[in-house]
Amino acid sequence: MHSICGMHIFAEIINEMNAENVKSQMRKGTLEYCILLLLKKEASYTSDIIQKLQEAKLIVVEGTLYPLLTRLKNSELLGYQWIESSQGPPRKYYNLTEKGESFLSELEISWRELTDTISHIRNI
């Protein structure tokens, strides 16, 4: 009897772990899109990006954001400029490039299609 109960608890833990993994993958998948949306509105400093993401309840830390910004920059989706700061050294402000704006337009179409699909499936 104990082994059956133990297997049930183990199955629940595995299901919970899988749910956490899926939620984590969903957040990672939307993070790049959200960053591009923010930078479409205005060039931003890294800590400003983090603050805006946190305000939207998308928790991200610098250790996650910096590699992503570097990858987006290396893909020529982002550019940056150094702007003098009254609070210390110059700051790197990221902005969308023309290629980034085109990429974001494609993502926006895909996002609408995905949300339409999910809404349709929910209402079946």
Q: Is residue 37 part of a domain?
A: yes
Q: Is residue 7 part of a domain?
A: no
Q: Is 35 helix (H, G, I), strand (E, B) or coil?
A: helix
pLDDT at 80 over 80: yes
pLDDT at 42 over 80: yes
Query: How many domains does the chain divide into?
Result: 1
Q: Is 34 helix (H, G, I), strand (E, B) or coil?
A: helix
pTM of the model: 0.78
Mean pLDDT confidence for 49-68: 90
Full domain range(s) for residue 48 = 31-122
Rounded to the nearest angstrom, the gap between the alpha carbon of residue 88 and the centroid of all alpha carbons in its chain is 29
pLDDT at 3 over 80: no
**pLDDT tens-digit series, residues 14-28:** 666 677 777 778 887
pLDDT-based confidence at residue 4 (cuts at 50, 70, 90): low
pLDDT-based confidence at residue 110 (cuts at 50, 70, 90): very high
Lowest mean pLDDT across 86-90, 98-102, 119-123: 86-90
Mean pLDDT, all residues of the chain: 88
Q: Is residue 101 part of a domain?
A: yes
Q: Is residue 20 part of a domain?
A: no
The CATH number covering residue 81 comes to 1.10.10.10
pLDDT-based confidence at residue 13 (cuts at 50, 70, 90): low
How far is it, in rounded angstroms, from Cα 24 to Cα 21? 5
pLDDT at 1 over 50: no
Start-to-end CA distance of the chain, whole Å, equals: 40
